[in-house]
Amino acid sequence: MDQFTLNLLFVGASFALYIGIAIWARAGSTAEFYAAGRGVHPVTNGMATAADWMSAASFISMAGLLAFGGYTTSAYLMGWTGGYVLLALLLAPYLRKFGKFTVPEFIGDRFYSPTARMVAVAALIIASITYVIGQMTGVGVAFSRFLEVSNTAGLLIGAAIVFFYAVLGGMKGVTYTQVAQYCVLITAYTIPAIFISLQLTGNPIPALGLFSEHTVSGEQLLTRLDQVVTDLGFREYTLQDGTPSQVINMTLFTFSLMIGTAGLPHVIIRFFTVPKVSDARISAGWALVFIALLYLTAPAVGAMARLNITDLMWPNGTQGEAVSIETIQSDPKYAWMETWEVTGLFGYEDKNGDGKIQYYNDASPALQERAAAAGWQGNELTNFNRDILVLANPEIGNLPGWVIGLVAAGGLAAALSTAAGLLLAISSSVSHDLFKGQLTPNMSEKNELLVARLSMAVAIAVATYLGLNPPGFAAQTVALAFGLAASSIFPALMMGIFVKRINNKGAVAGMLAGLAFTLVYIFLHKGWFFIPGTNSFADTIEGSLLGIQSTAIGSIGAILNFVVAYFVSNATEEPPQEIQDLVESIRVPKGAGMAVDH
């Protein structure tokens, strides 16, 4: 059976499963559409939450980041995982006890302010739309490669599948579909990793293989990897940059990812679906377990893929001859290069006409003399999009065709599961917070359910359009989505739960200050401000605030939010007594008496 047929079978079977679940779990009420009727078992919810979280970024991009970034990119693992610890300890049980459907609804009621609710809606929509663009783009990439259709056609097919199960099933359908998607994606991620770990180290557990001996050289695998990348002029894979500015930025970036994760609405609303308050904390714990299965494997996938690629480009070692174009075109183990070159995400060029493809860091002073002596004219691996790494890994490792088909289904499952969660968060806020909460408060449940489904359809259409025509800022960084959630939503939730003195004026001022500061800083330093009267964007602004990178600025925006909210609240009147009582009721276990402030 040829590879295309295998891919089609795996992807088609997974899509049939998702559609079947959507028909079975069709939402018949707003409670089922928004919160799955609050009847999801905590283990089931933990698995669905893991799928909701492990997006195209986790499945497709993270191993690529780790492969080419090494130690410094471990902040993604620590920040994203740490966010769930914050959720489990500080947010999930309290928000579930509040008993509402959406994050803006909690903020609006806690701060007794329609304005606060609308600011939260705006922050939620901006962050979620930014995030969902990457998921839809990932769907297009996976389809275009594995089903041999155009990127546009692949994205439209993916959007149609999400439309069917998300619009029909709402949170109920999305929850059980995400359970199936988790099973698909974790299987698709770990099986190739096991194969490659066995090939390189003889250890079937990738996380342990990362610290095992390299079969060919006899060295410890990471030691071997450090050696080959430094021979090619790259920095050591395991090297930590200990300069003060880098330590500060890595710390702030990790913290920004943590509180951004804890503030992302599509993650938070998952904890509204369980029957009891205690189940929210339990399901967060299970989510960590299920996420850990992938996150403990990802560093091994990244490191082993980097070593495999280097060995392919320098088959006789980094001090020997580079691979020849003749070998690339005739040896089956290089066939993946041709198939990925068609997508435009991979490419090479024989710049000096020697019939070989030199892969090295042409900016490395240590290699300048060697490059000049050998007549090299620059790195000839001219295009290697790191997002293809996980999808191409089975082909790079020369694994069986069924594994490649499984990875295709897994990559699509990861992108679709998160896209559905984000779109549900957007549609719930539009239908429940904007229409039901503000514009038409007297609408019936039937009409609200209709508006929710229409909002979902519109959100999918917008996300599809932006996936086909991604704005530059969304395509370049996740800092915007995480920075917005970290600087606007997370502080409001924390203060709303734990600080009775924060009033409506303080909450609104804090959210606006954090949101505006983070947006302006990121757009200035990425050069995304459009210049009036021209057809171009401003150049990236040189310099930064105390050397803080734009990816880490969400932490500073969050601190600004806390400070502004505190001072404005203390300069104005106290919240009404019933609001202070509400905070007590959220924070204190039933029957434990009143909390005492010290």
pLDDT at 227: 92
What pLDDT, on the 0 to 100 scale, is given for residue 477? 54
Phi, psi of 356 (to 5 degrees): -125, 160
Please give the residue that has the higher pLDDT: either 576 or 54.
576
Average pLDDT, stretch 571-586? 90
- Among 174-183, 364-373, 543-552, 561-570, the range with the most confident prediction by mean pLDDT is 561-570
* CA 116 – CA 498 distance, rounded (Å): 17
Structural domains for the chain:
3-303+399-474 (1.20.1730.10)
DSSP 82-115: HHHHHIIIIIHHHHHHHT-S-HHHHHHHHTT-HH
Least confidently predicted of 196-205, 398-407, 495-504, 580-589: 580-589
Lowest mean per-residue pLDDT among 147-161, 182-196, 367-381, 580-594:
580-594
Instruction: Indicate whether 18 pLDDT > 60.
Output: yes
> What is residue 343's predicted lDDT score, i.e. its pLDDT?
72
> Using one digit for the tens of pLDDT, what is the confidence trace for 499-524?
999 999 999 999 999 999 988 888 77
Residues 24/36, Cβ–Cβ less than 8 Å: no
Residue 368 has pLDDT above 60, yes or no: yes
Q: What are phi and psi of 237, to 5 degrees?
A: -65, -40
- pLDDT tens readout for residues 281-310: 889 889 989 999 988 999 999 999 899 889
- pTM (two decimals): 0.82
- Tell me what pLDDT residue 350 has: 92
- Separation of alpha carbons 332 and 401, rounded Å: 13
Identify the band that residue 205 occupies on the pLDDT scale cut at 50, 70 and 90: very high
What's the mean pLDDT in 553-562? Answer: 93
Q: What is the pLDDT of residue 598?
A: 38
Average pLDDT, stretch 145-171? 77
**Can you give the pLDDT at residue 546?**
65
Residue 594 has pLDDT above 50, yes or no: no
Number of H helices, E strands in the chain: 29, 2
How far is residue 22's CA from residue 165's CA, in Å, rounded to a whole number?
Answer: 5
pLDDT of 367: 86
In this prediction, residue 208 carries a pLDDT of: 95
pLDDT exceeds cutoff 80 at 469: no
- Nearest by Cα to 423 from 47, 39, 133, 54: 133
> Would the pLDDT of 345 be above 80?
no
Region of poorest pLDDT, from 248-252, 311-315, 535-539:
535-539
Q: Is the pLDDT of residue 201 over 50?
A: yes
Q: What's the pLDDT band for 544 if we cut at 50, 70, 90?
A: low
pLDDT at 479 (0 to 100): 58
- Better-scored residue on pLDDT, 59 or 195: 195
Residue 539 has pLDDT above 60, yes or no: no
pLDDT at 590 (0 to 100): 52
**Mean pLDDT for the stretch of residues 115-122:** 90
Residue 217 has pLDDT above 50, yes or no: yes
Whether the pLDDT of residue 425 is over 50: the answer is yes
Assess whether pLDDT exceeds 60 at residue 541.
no
* % of the chain with per-residue pLDDT over 90: 25
Instruction: Look at residue 444 in the predicted model and tell me its pLDDT.
Output: 86
Identify which has the larger pLDDT, 563 or 332: 563
- Please tell me the predicted confidence (pLDDT) of residue 527: 61
Convert the pLDDT of each residue in 57-80 to its tens digit: 677 778 888 888 888 888 888 888
- Mean pLDDT over 171-181 rounds to 84
Residue given tokens 């002073």 in the structure block: 365
In single-letter form, the type of residue at position 598 comes to: H
Is the pLDDT at 441 greater than 80? The verdict is: yes
Tell me what pLDDT residue 536 has.
42
What integer pLDDT is reported at residue 478 of this predicted model? 60
Whether 543 has a pLDDT exceeding 50, the answer reads: no
Mean pLDDT for the chain overall: 83
pLDDT category at 203 given cuts 50, 70, 90 is: very high
Say if CB 528 and CB 537 are below 8 A apart: yes
Q: What is the pLDDT of residue 550?
A: 77
| pLDDT tier at 526, thresholds 50, 70, 90 | low
Instruction: Read off the pLDDT band of 153 (50, 70, 90).
Output: confident
Amino acid type, 308 = N
**What residues have CB less than 8 Å from 67, skipping those under 6 apart?**
301, 302, 303, 305, 306, 309, 386, 389
Tokens of 41: 């078992």
> Which three-class secondary structure string do you get for 186-218?
HHHHHHHHHHHHHHHHCCCCHHHHCCCECCCCC
- What pLDDT, on a 0 to 100 scale, did the predictor assign at position 556? 93
Written as one string, the DSSP assignment of 366-427 is: HHHHHHHHHT--S-S--EE-GGGHHHHHHHHTT--HHHHHHHHHHHHHHHHHHHHHHHHHHH
pLDDT (mean) for 241-247: 79
Q: Which helix (H) or strand (E) holds 346?
A: strand 346-347
